[in-house]
Amino acid sequence: MIDSGESRPPSRSGEYRDSGGHPRQGVLAGVVVLGVAATLVVAGIVPRLKAKAALLKETRDLAIPTVSVIHPKLGALQTEIVLPGNIQAFSNSPIYARTNGYLKKWYVDIGARVKAGQLLAEIETPEVDQQLDQARADLKTAQANYRLAGITAERYQGLLKSDSVSKQDVDNASGDLDARKAMVASAESNVKRLEQLQSFEKIYAPFDGVITARNTDIGHLIDSGAAGGAATELFHMAAIHKLRVYVNVPQQYSQFARPGLTADVTLLEFPGRRFKGTLVRTANSIDVATRTLLTEVDVDNARGELLPGAYAEVRLQAPAGIPALILPVSTLIFRSEGLQVGTVQKGNRAALNSITVGRDLGTEVEVLSGLTPDAVVIVNPPDSLISGETVRVATDQGTPGAAQ
């Protein structure tokens, strides 16, 4: 073999590569091994990183509460308000005796319709009768003494002209006449008083009405209460030709409860019927305990169908509509700050709105203030809901979506 005389540079290991290139092939093999190892490492780490990122995203998503929302329903214009009412007689009066005695006879019983001045009962008053007889006798005595005193005074006036009596005797006779006259007046007054007491033996109806109670019977001892005892109620009367229906109107509706307002009265025992009434007066003061306005509605009852003491529903016809928003009770939040609802604002941020409610409609309530018709209200809000919290609004299909 002929040596060309050319020399080759040494390799990094200090050896010269021969023409076969065996050292170069070793380096390439090492690089390939390292590349394969790196690929395997990357292939194992990347899925784990992706899984970790996905888990983190899911955790963050779950931390944001998903809520269902609705818009308030605009109720019909409020033209009438239905409130409970208490029916009372137009006049309601207990009947007492004005004199003591024993019940002689009664002429009416419960349910009887009577006219003003009609005789209801009679009382025996033997003591009053005897006192009246004595008073009349005393009056006659006083009248006789008065006549005698008049004759004496007149005679003394004649004798005075002839100086048969002194002026003092004449004055005495004149003074005695005046005293006898006063005694007659006193006796007459006593007779009238006892006659009046005797007239109280008869009990008369004070007005047209119906007897609702009879609390005595023949032979019962009647005490008028004049001597400090307990007075005896003989009858109870009620005027039912017209009835008063008392209604407690909530404060929020008191502004239109004015005299002249029409009203319909309904009762369970008269299904489908409405009795016409008119609001005649109010208490002009809100009851601090109930925050209501006491209102009286008068209803004609000429046929006597309605009974005092009955429960009724009163429908007050409002002169103007009262717009109200309707929400289900599942949207309400009861907290120390008062009644609230949760709403979704721009950016899917929650807000707590304080509201004022009107009528309770069962599963729904009227909202009088605190909301607008376009509000996005959260249904079944979580107890932990706070203002400014981010929420996710569920779509109709139950998937997350944005608030509209």
- Residue 115 to residue 119: CA distance in whole angstroms: 9
388's torsion region: left (phi>0), alpha (psi -120 to 50) or beta?
Answer: left
pLDDT score for 254: 87
pLDDT score for 55: 63
pLDDT score for 80: 74
> Do 391 and 348 touch, CB atoms closer than 8 A?
yes
Q: What percent of the chain has pLDDT over 70?
A: 80
pLDDT score for 12: 46
> Do 330 and 382 touch, CB atoms closer than 8 A?
no
pLDDT score for 26: 66
> Do 296 and 345 touch, CB atoms closer than 8 A?
no
Domain 82-88+238-322 CATH assignment equals 2.40.30.170: yes
Q: What is the pLDDT of residues 336-385, one digit of tens each?
A: 889 999 999 998 899 999 998 877 888 999 888 888 889 999 999 988 88
pLDDT score for 361: 82
Domain 324-401 CATH assignment equals 2.40.420.20: yes
- Residue 26 to residue 10: CA distance in whole angstroms: 16
Average pLDDT on 198-221 reads: 94
Average pLDDT on 182-194 reads: 94
pLDDT score for 96: 94
pLDDT at residue 69 is higher than 70: yes
C-alpha distances out from residue 46 to 34, 43, 51, 306, Å: 18, 6, 9, 87
- Residue 342 to residue 354: CA distance in whole angstroms: 9
Instruction: Identify the architecture of domain 126-199 in CATH.
Output: Orthogonal Bundle (1.10)
Q: What is the pLDDT of residues 93-107, one digit of tens each?
A: 999 998 889 999 999
pLDDT score for 306: 95
Q: What percent of the chain has pLDDT over 90?
A: 50
pLDDT score for 123: 94
Average pLDDT on 77-88 reads: 84
Burial class from Cβ neighbours inside 10 Å (0-12, 13-18, 19+) for residue 152 reads middle
Structure tokens at 376: 């996005």
pLDDT at residue 213 is higher than 60: yes
Taking Cα atoms as reference points, which of 88, 82, 79, 90 lies closest to residue 266?
A: 82
The total of other beta-carbon atoms located within 10 Å of residue 263's CB is 26
pLDDT score for 283: 96
- Residue 240 to residue 246: CA distance in whole angstroms: 15
* pTM higher than the cut 0.85: no
Helix (H) or strand (E) holding 284: strand 275-287
> Do 115 and 205 touch, CB atoms closer than 8 A?
yes
pLDDT score for 401: 38
pLDDT score for 354: 92
pLDDT band at residue 38 using 50, 70 and 90 as cut-offs = low
Lookup result for tokens 């509706």: 253
pLDDT at residue 5 is higher than 50: no
pLDDT at residue 56 is higher than 90: no
pLDDT band at residue 171 using 50, 70 and 90 as cut-offs = confident
Domain ranges of the chain: 82-88+238-322, 126-199, 324-401
